[in-house]
Structure 1
Amino acid sequence: MKYDYLVFIGRFQPVHLGHLQVIEAALGLSHKLIVICGSARQARSPRNPFTLAEREAMLRAALPPAWQSRVFMVGCSDRMYNDQQWITEVQNLVDKVIAVDTASLGHRAAEFRVGIVGAGGGSPARQVHYLELFPQWQREQAAEWPGVDAATLREALFAQQGAHFAGCRDKLPTAVYEWLHRFRELPVYAQIAAEHDYLQSFRRAWADTPHPPTFVTVDAVVIHSGHVLLVKRRSLPGRGLWALPGGFVAQDEPIRDAVIRELKEEARLKVPAPVLAGSIRASRVFDHPQRSLRGRTITHAFLIELAPTGEGLPKVRGGDDSDRAQWVPLFEFNRMEEQLFEDHFYIVNWFLGQI
């Protein structure tokens, strides 16, 4: 074998025949394969409908018995605004898998031949860009399965309650196709399908514009005595998820005024607007192209640090688009990645690194 371990990074939403083709090619080159499953702790959405455990269940159902002991799957967070953190997490995960797998041998992970594999054609435009982020691992390119991509499969699964999903049978391992049919019977499927339909309707409302619209929003990261202020979303998309107070910028207001207005409307924060404005410590634009399923949405986020007054945490309550507002201890917030809307978990963590 050319390698002791190959690394395969993807989201596997869902596992399809293209993934299995890469795995087969990888196992022809290496003794074992480490599958890094991205978006491992993202809240459910039409783009990330399956949990890490569900994706591993799909993968295990699809793998032949002879491959089971040769394939490992571990989850990785997206680290949307910090590539170096993401690279470090991937490296650590690979190191830990190898360390556990070879514990009885007494070798260090660095002593093994490790490579990284991706799917794509031979032209530079088809190369998987993240392969270049790991120069210490030799790259291998596996052939793509023509006409198969996870986004199309998700669309067929959730559009019109999966009316056309049967047409995807030839793009999925039989065991995964059956697994997804069982998933359609669960209450969570109906919730995701409803969000899918809402987002489709939202996009259709803007379909006749000369150019695809770019939305401008604001988000408030309010910190007080080791707590962050969150609201629970009342409406789609993201109904029931925790989020930062924020929303769309009105046509007639400056961005800084918009964040104060949204903060007062959504959290009913009992702090005067001039005090909030004077407590802004930093701001940053967060513009990842995939940060929102509503379309291209650029948010201006503001860090607001409130000073202790001896009266405890200011009173808050849900209002406008939120069912509830709550001060969350930061140690608890760091365990809530799966409960946060869109990229709000990563926005807060970016600001916490600046404090």
Structure 2
Amino acid sequence: MYDTAILIGRFEPVHTGHLALLNRALEEANKVIVIIGSAFQARSPKNPFTWKERADMLLGGLSESNRTRVDVVPVRDYYDEARWVKAVQKAVNERTQPGARIGLVGHFKDASSSYLSSFPGWELIPLTRQGEIDATMIRNAYFGATADTIPIALSPFHDVLPKSTRTLLEQFATQSEFAELQNEWRMLRGYREAWASAPYPPIFVTVDTVLRCQNQILLIRRAHAPGKGLLALPGGFIEPRESIWQSCLRELVEETHCDVTPERLQQTLQSVHVFDHPDRSQRGRTITHAHYFDLGDAPLPAVQADDDAAQVLWMPISEIVKSEEMLFEDHFQILNHFLRNQILSE
């Protein structure tokens, strides 16, 4: 027996394969810690449910006595393997005794399972994959239906969806967020289909601007999918005849009409960092060059929303962590990279 068994996953949504892993963990240890990944993300077609909703789906598939043996812990995406591993280890260490024998339950299904090799101090508790079903197939059927046809759309998955999952899916389909995510799902599907016949998977190059002034950050509210209504950094795709710097200046002006001159921006540029995690954007492989400017205590520049921005606003740095679940893609982690000591302490 292990002192503690660990199960790591996104569970978007929970299916019987997840429950098989959880039950295996309960067989191997008296205490189980479930790490729910992609926590605190804005809702999206890939991450439609909050970590608490996913926890309810998981625990709802267990007996009451087994629920008391499970500790569910949310862990955010860092888009940095080393930082994510450290965060998971920290969460487990805080909930276990020194020297505890720890087992990690899982199976290698594809490249997304590589994390199982990231914890050499934990013994792997293997379990054969339970059929070919995965959460992506369920999400595609779900978002391809209407609120009225959800039961029909999910009928092929009836045997692999626990009652707790079916109940949540049917209830969520009646909420306004469902229709918004459907629009996102359709947009992203069409986006990927548009370049599906390319000889090689395309790699997109973008720019983003982190503009700081009076300890506030300039943000926009996105006007269109993907991420309609979410907060984001001003930015966009590089035009064919532009340099990265030229694209940064153009996107900032197009979206915010910021009246800071290019010369002033050049003087206040603090750093440029490339964010290239393969999963940072659902649109496809997207590499962005984020530019960090600090205008110090100068008066706030005049701004006005335009182009892809429905709104432009200055957000105090102290408020950013409270808005994490409203930030687009990995923009919270981009901000955290440049402002780490003022947003997250870990």
TM-score (norm 2): 0.92
Is the counterpart of residue 351 in structure 1 residue 325 in structure 2? no
The corresponding residue for 2:51 is: 52
Displacement after TM superposition at 1:298 (Å)? 1.2
What are the superposed Cα offsets for residues 27-49 of structure 1, whole Å, 9 maximum, x if unpaired? Answer: 11111110000011000000000
2:278 corresponds to which of 272, 289, 308: 289
Displacement after TM superposition at 1:167 (Å)? 1.4
**Other structure's SS at 1:115 match:** strand
**Other structure's SS at 2:314 match:** strand
Q: Using the TM superposition, name which of 170-179 and 13-22 deviates more.
A: 170-179
Displacement after TM superposition at 1:234 (Å)? 0.6
The corresponding residue for 1:308 is: 297
Distance 2:284 2:83 in 1: 26
Displacement after TM superposition at 1:256 (Å)? 0.6
Distance 1:196 1:240 in 2: 15
Displacement after TM superposition at 1:126 (Å)? 7.5
Is the counterpart of residue 340 in structure 1 residue 327 in structure 2? yes
**Other structure's SS at 1:168 match:** helix
Displacement after TM superposition at 1:251 (Å)? 0.8
> 8 Å contact 2:37–2:75 — kept in the other structure?
yes
Q: Using the TM superposition, name which of 196-205 and 239-248 deviates more.
A: 196-205
The corresponding residue for 1:192 is: 181
The corresponding residue for 1:148 is: 133
Distance 1:166 1:194 in 2: 22
The corresponding residue for 1:181 is: 170
Displacement after TM superposition at 1:353 (Å)? 4.3
Displacement after TM superposition at 1:354 (Å)? 9.4
- Structure 1 residues 127, 14: closer, same or farther in 2, change over 3 A? closer
1:319 corresponds to which of 295, 302, 306: 306
**Other structure's SS at 1:314 match:** coil
What are the superposed Cα offsets for residues 24-78 of structure 1, whole Å, 9 maximum, x if unpaired? Answer: 1111111111000001100000000000111111112211233111112110111
The size of the alignment, in residue pairs, is 338
1:115 corresponds to which of 80, 103, 120: 103
> 8 Å contact 1:3–1:113 — kept in the other structure?
yes
Distance 2:120 2:338 in 1: 30
Displacement after TM superposition at 1:248 (Å)? 0.7
**Other structure's SS at 2:301 match:** coil
The corresponding residue for 1:203 is: 192
Displacement after TM superposition at 1:86 (Å)? 2.0
> 8 Å contact 1:260–1:277 — kept in the other structure?
no
- Structure 1 residues 248, 354: closer, same or farther in 2, change over 3 A? farther
Displacement after TM superposition at 1:127 (Å)? 9.2
Give the residue type in structure 1 aligned to 2:87: E
Distance 1:4 1:126 in 2: 29
> 8 Å contact 2:5–2:103 — kept in the other structure?
yes
> 8 Å contact 1:27–1:33 — kept in the other structure?
yes
Distance 1:198 1:224 in 2: 35
Displacement after TM superposition at 1:242 (Å)? 0.3
The corresponding residue for 1:38 is: 37
> 8 Å contact 1:221–1:302 — kept in the other structure?
yes
User: Superposition pairs for residues 164-175 of structure 1, below 5 Å?
Assistant: 164-175=153-164
> 8 Å contact 1:120–1:142 — kept in the other structure?
no
Distance 2:70 2:27 in 1: 12
- Structure 1 residues 354, 67: closer, same or farther in 2, change over 3 A? closer
Give the residue type in structure 2 aligned to 1:175: S
TM-score (norm 1): 0.90
> 8 Å contact 2:5–2:25 — kept in the other structure?
yes
* Structure 1 unmatched runs, 5+: 99-108
> 8 Å contact 1:156–1:168 — kept in the other structure?
no
> 8 Å contact 2:106–2:116 — kept in the other structure?
yes
Distance 1:226 1:129 in 2: 39
* Structure 2 unmatched runs, 5+: none
Displacement after TM superposition at 1:209 (Å)? 2.7
Deviating runs (4+, > 4 A) in structure 1?
Answer: none
